[in-house]
Amino acid sequence: MGQLEGKTAVVLGAASKDNIGQTIARLFAAEGATVLVAGRHEGPLSQLAEEIGGHYGLCDITDHGQVHQLAAKAVNDMVRVDAAINCTGWALLANLLETTEEDLDKITDLHFKGTHHFLQAFVKVMSEQEPTGGSLITLSSATTKALINNHAAYIGTKRGTEALIECVANDFGHFGIKANTVSPAFTESPMTADSFHVPGLVDAFLSKYPLGRLNTADDVAQACAWLCSDKAFLTGQHIQPNGGLTLRGNPQAKDIEASVGAAMAKQNEG
C-alpha cells in the first residue's frame, strides 16, 4: 500500500512534458492517490491524466476565477481534496536595473498573487469539507536562502510565497490544514534544459552540494509525497530537498563565468 493510498490531490503547473509538476503527479498516483493535474495546456494534461488514471483541468493561476473554478472542479471530480500542490513559476533572470515594470507585474501576478489565489481557493475547500484538513504545498526556491545574482524579482516574489504559507499554517492549522513550501535548487527539467548544454555551468554548482549531486525532480516529488502523507507532522516549514546547498550557498556570477570560461577554453584546446 502506498503512502498516499485513498487520498486525492491537485497538482497545478503540470502542463509541460516531464516537468516537476508531472513528476509529482506520477509519484502521487504511484503512491495510491487519485490526482487532478492542471495548467494552461490541454494536450499534455489530458495525456497525463489518462496515463495516471486521474483527472485534468485548465487553469491559469494568475486568474482568480479560474483558480476557484479549479478547486470546485476538484471537489466535483474527486469529492474532496486531501492535497494541493502549486508548481507554477517563472525563473526570470534579470538584473535589478534591467527588470521592466512589465516583467515585475508578470512575476508578481504569477508568484505572489497567483499563490494567494491558490491558497485562498484550497483553504476554503479544505476547511469546509468533512472531515476538514489537508496538505498545501507551493514550490519555492533554494535561492531564497542561498542567493544568486540577477534574480531579485524572482527571489523577492518567492520569499513572498513563503510568508503566505506561514500565515496559512498559523491561521488555519485548527482545521487540520498543513501548509509548507518545498524548495528545489538547480534541477534538470524542461525549464532548465538549455543550461545543461553550457560547458562548465553544472560544474560551477556541483561543489556547493554536500551530498555531491544536483537535486532531481524526483527528490522534490518525494518530499512533497511525504509532506502530504499522514506521517508528516509539520506545518509552516520550508523544506529543502536539495542536497544541502543552503549550507554552502549558490555560486555567484563570477564563479559561474570562471567555470564556463575554463570549460570552453579546454574545449577549444581539444
Name the DSSP letter for residue 254: H
Query: Taking the model in full, what pTM does it have?
Result: 0.95
pLDDT for the residue 191: 67
**What phi-psi label fits residue 126: left (phi over 0), alpha (psi between -120 and 50 degrees) or beta?**
alpha
At residue 35, the 3 state secondary structure works out as: strand
pLDDT for the residue 195: 72
- Cell digits of residue 158: 518567492
CA 83/CA 232 separation, integer angstroms: 13
pLDDT for the residue 269: 76
CA nearest 237: which of 229, 227, 247, 245?
Answer: 227
Which regions of the chain are under pLDDT 50?
none
pLDDT for the residue 73: 98
pLDDT for the residue 199: 83
pLDDT for the residue 264: 79
**Domain 8-197+209-248 homologous superfamily, CATH:** NAD(P)-binding Rossmann-like Domain (3.40.50.720)
pLDDT for the residue 270: 59
pLDDT for the residue 188: 76
Q: Which residue has the cell 508578470?
A: 106
